[in-house]
Amino acid sequence: MTAMIMHSPQQTLGDFSLQPRRRRWQPHALAATLAVALHAGVLALLIAGWSVEPPAVEPPTALRTQLVMLSAPQPEAPEPMPLSAPVEPAPPEPAVAAPVEPVKPSVDPQVQARKLEQAALARKRVEEQKREQLAEQQRERQASDQRRRDAEQQRLALEQQAQQQAQRAEQARLAAERARQQAAADSRQYLPLSKEAPDYPQRALDKHIEGDCTVEYSVNPQGQVENPKVLDGCHPLFIRPSLTAANTFRYQPRLVDGQAVSVPAVRNTFHYRIQ
């Protein structure tokens, strides 16, 4: 323990008041001298390598406590929870080996030159193949265009042929129409004025012979029959009565530009039937 001597304030105040003023600096000078001496000693010890040992640390005071547990009423046991399936640990990922860079061998100039030559040849072959493909495509396009032109020409030819056939058919129809009209006009111009049926031959009646007989003749400007003749297919028993009956026919003359003309190749068919 440190003992401290305390002076009463009154005594100190009385002392200071009693001491003369010139002696007040003496205690201060003594304290300064002691402080300087202590600092000089510490500095000398530091320079000489003296080390101050750290003070021993007292161990902290431990406080011990004891927990007393009192018995409590036992609660109802909870229902057991279902155990979950054990989780299997994930398999470790395989270690990926770092790629090993191949060691680049030293390049031989001759090998490099051969490689460049081979690359140039391969590039040339590729260009030739491309040119051949382009030429083949152009040939195919030309062939396709030619086939299309041929098909177009064939279609045009067929259309032209069909048009020509239609024109010929139309011309034939017009010609037939004109012929029919001419024949109708001719028939109106030389209409028969009188026709007598031929006599049925007795021998044909006796033999029950029937048939047809066509006679061809010309009609002169006077409307009379000239040069009658029997065409093929006439039974001999019907020839004479057919010619005799044809000679008795009379027609109205045909007029062309106001003048009567003859009409050739006029035909008439006689039908012999037993009633």
Token output for 191: 């209409």
More confident residue, 129 or 63: 129
Confidence of residue 114 (pLDDT cuts 50, 70, 90): confident
Could you tell me the residue range of the domain that residue 255 belongs to? 193-272
In a domain, 40, yes or no: no
Asked whether residue 200 falls in the same domain as residue 157, the answer is no
Q: Pick the last residue of a domain from 166, 189, 212.
A: 189
In a domain, 172, yes or no: yes
Asked whether residue 202 falls in the same domain as residue 174, the answer is no
Number of Cβ within a 10 Å radius of residue 211: 14
Euclidean distance between CA atoms 189 and 266, whole angstroms? 13
More confident residue, 136 or 92: 136
More confident residue, 103 or 178: 178
pLDDT digits (tens, 9 = 90+) for 59-82: 666 666 666 666 655 656 555 555
pLDDT digits (tens, 9 = 90+) for 7-38: 444 443 344 443 445 555 566 778 888 888 88
Asked whether residue 168 falls in the same domain as residue 211, the answer is no
pLDDT higher than threshold 70 for residue 136: yes
Q: Dihedrals φ, ψ of 272, to 5°?
A: -105, 115
pLDDT higher than threshold 60 for residue 271: yes
Please give the sequence-ordered ranges of beta strands (E in DSSP) within the chain, or none if there are none. Answer: 192-194, 211-219, 225-230, 250-251, 254-256, 259-261, 263-272
Write the DSSP symbol of residue 71.
Answer: P
In a domain, 23, yes or no: no
pLDDT of residue 6: 41
More confident residue, 178 or 238: 238
More confident residue, 79 or 146: 146
Asked whether residue 220 falls in the same domain as residue 181, the answer is no
pLDDT of residue 51: 54
Asked whether residue 208 falls in the same domain as residue 246, the answer is yes
Asked whether residue 182 falls in the same domain as residue 246, the answer is no
pLDDT of residue 14: 41
Indicate the pTM of the whole model: 0.33
Phi-psi region of 192 (alpha: psi -120 to 50; beta: other; left: phi over 0): beta
pLDDT of residue 59: 64
**Is the distance from CB of 176 to CB of 235 less than 8 angstroms?**
no
pLDDT digits (tens, 9 = 90+) for 45-56: 777 765 555 556
Q: Pick the last residue of a domain from 134, 154, 189.
A: 189
Gap between the terminal Cα atoms of the chain: 191
Q: Structurally, how many domains does the chain consist of?
A: 2
Q: How many CA atoms lie within 13 A of 66 on its CB side?
A: 2
Asked whether residue 201 falls in the same domain as residue 268, the answer is yes
pLDDT digits (tens, 9 = 90+) for 219-232: 888 888 999 999 88
pLDDT of residue 254: 83
One-character DSSP codes across 114-125: HHHHHHHHHHHH
Closest among 233, 232, 241 to 204, alpha carbons compared: 241
Q: Pick the last residue of a domain from 135, 160, 189.
A: 189
Q: Quote the Cα angle for 63-66-67, to 5°.
A: 135
pLDDT of residue 186: 55
